[in-house]
Amino acid sequence: MNVLLSDWTTPFQIAPFDAISDGDFAEAFTIALAENKREVDAIALATDPATFANTIEALEGTGEALHKVLSVFYTLAGADSNDAREMLMRDFSPRLAAHSADYYANSALFARIKSLWNTRETLGLNDEQSRVLMLTHRSFVRSGAGLKGADKTRMKEILSRLAVLGTYFGQNLLADERDWFMELSEADLGGLPEFAIAAARAAGVEKGVRNPVVTLSRSIITPFLQFSPRRDLREVAFNAWAARGANSGDTDNRAIADETLALRHERALLLGYDSYAAYRLEAEMAKTPEAVEKLLMDVWEPARNRANADADILGRMMHGDGINGDLQPWDWRYYAEKRRKIEHDLDEAALKPYLQLDRMIEAAFSCATRLFNLQFKPLDVPLYHADCRAWEVTRDGVHLAVFIGDYFARGSKRSGAWCSAMRAQAKIPQVQTPIVINVCNFAKSDPALLSYDDARTLFHEFGHALHQMLSNVSYESISGTSVPRDFVELPSQLYEHWLDVPAVLAEFATHADTGAAMPQEMLDKVLAAANFDMGFSTVEFVASALVDLDFHRGAAPENAMARQAQVLANLGMPAAITMRHATPHFAHVFTGDGYASAYYSYMWSEVMDADAFAAFDEVGDAFDGGLAKSLQDNILSTGNSRDPEASYIAFRGRLPGVEALLKGRGLVD
């Protein structure tokens, strides 16, 4: 039997990666897809009257084999891709889209769900069951279950094409990031700290060249832009970074973006909405494009004012170096790093040895132990790459989850950082504990050293992992991170705050060579500089979110790049700052619809996370037991079992305003 379809006898039924080959996927996918269709058809065509148990709960129990296959495949395709996996992804994506479209277009199944919805008051459902029924019915309606004839056919065509476009967009971006690198001579290394030189040499070995190289991995290019005094080389590297997905040829994403936006708008019109943003945001906390725009513009003005003031300072520093002309995007990070050293006497090259990857993992685990009484025990199991590590997560000796960490950058891994559940928590139709993976792109060295932003990323993704691991609901469809997009970032962004707790840094920020704790003076400087350059980071994020919103708010632009330029001009975008994610490499928005017209959600969640951590500040204890229990019970364990506003109010007593965010970012006094 195909190993992907067999019973896994590994510890905690972790995928037996050492026994799985790329040749297993096609057969297993085809078999599992057909099995899932039979499961759904059996429910849809049942002759018994619809009940919650024989329809909604029965649907919750379908697709186990398909999920097993896809959880392994998409883990590998994102974190360790190769030509075979990319080809398989191009095959699987449209077939999955067609399968999903058939599922939501199943009129017999929808009739059963609709009958339950129409009689919901008589079914005697508990609150969680009522929520699952509502969400199931809503997902069918929003997926076009009510469409007929040509409209129904066209919707299936749109969804299939969008799946293909999203796959190509992501693969094109990976190809551009993987294929470009710039060789450096020994003289070109001048001014770079040892950690950056070591990363460049290791990257050269990976690329098969004799010299150190700069790649488009964020963990390599960002330090190069921060520290290299070679303005000419910074310009080359930055332009390559900015041009990802827009290099003409086979990997150009610009036409893909145009077609994607047009198809999304057509999809929204078929469903009766006047724009994709109106359709997309209806099911989020924000509800409307107008609410999103208000939040973003409330932040934009103070952020732009701060960034413009900072640009004047950095420009004068550049002119002091004898460089005429305007500050450019490839200059900002270099002079910002110089300014940080002057104003805060904080040198990242001196700081980084105190931020060892292993110690920061320990710090994230320790905070979870103190807050939620979790224990982490290393697991010796085969994983998909030698860089991966696994831990069993327990509480008082009871197994809760498996956590996998894949931390280092490599050419086969897409950029960024993410968390996914290879298996989600559920109790019905059977108890299953989660298997959760964090994937990051840190520079590999010995020992592995992080920037402060890297350490923050590690805590962020572990916050997502906690959301999965502490889930305690009955149904997989509402467990863990299966919440509105503008709520899902709350646990992750909230967990970042524990990195800034002085006691945490004092214990775990120890020097890689000496083992000495970070000196109090340096610790004070790190915390004092927490909001340094916040105008820059806020502007690059909000600009991306506003462009995303504009793309989806009305009729689709014929030329997304022209529309992007128009939006930025109307905003008065500072000339020396670019969008964090320009259209051709805006993977959040164009590799799928998860963040489409919803990139704002990081900031919506930040409004809540700033206010939520303030609760711990108010009691003077970052590890207050009562607040930690309330956080677990009302947010981390509830998944989507109730409205997220209700969950937040249950924890904090009210909804927050934008003031906490502006204050937390240091954008207002």
As annotated, the active-site residues are 461
Among 218, 469, 219, residue whose Cα is nearest residue 364: 469
Measured distance CA(560)–CA(264) in Å, rounded = 13
- For residue 404, the SS3 value is strand
Radius of gyration of the chain (CA): 25
Measured distance CA(113)–CA(137) in Å, rounded = 6
State how beta strands 213-215 and 375-379 pair.
Answer: unpaired
Strand locations in 397-491 (E):
398-408, 418-423, 435-442
- For residue 488, the SS3 value is helix
The H or E element spanning position 623 is none
Which residues are CB-contacts of 425 (< 8 A; sequence separation ≥ 6)? 401, 432, 433, 434, 468, 469, 471, 472, 473, 476, 479, 480
- For residue 426, the SS3 value is strand
The answer to whether residues 392 and 376 touch, using CB atoms and an 8 Å cutoff, is: yes
Strand locations in 313-458 (E):
375-379, 389-395, 398-408, 418-423, 435-442
Among 630, 628, 624, residue whose Cα is nearest residue 651: 630
Measured distance CA(286)–CA(608) in Å, rounded = 13
Task: Give 318: exposed, middle or buried? Use CB within 10 Å, 0-12, 13-18, 19+.
Answer: buried
What values do phi and psi take at 100, rounded to 5? -65, -40
How many Cα atoms sit within 13 Å of 375 on the Cβ side? Answer: 7
DSSP 50: P
Q: How far is CA 148 from CA 135, 448, 452, in A?
A: 22, 57, 54
Task: Give 9: exposed, middle or buried? Use CB within 10 Å, 0-12, 13-18, 19+.
Answer: exposed
Q: If you search the block for the tokens 């790190």, which residue do you land on?
A: 526
**Amino acid letter for position 480:** G
Which residues are CB-contacts of 513 (< 8 A; sequence separation ≥ 6)? 353
Which residues are CB-contacts of 314 (< 8 A; sequence separation ≥ 6)? 327, 331, 332, 335, 336, 339, 576
Strand locations in 107-195 (E):
181-183
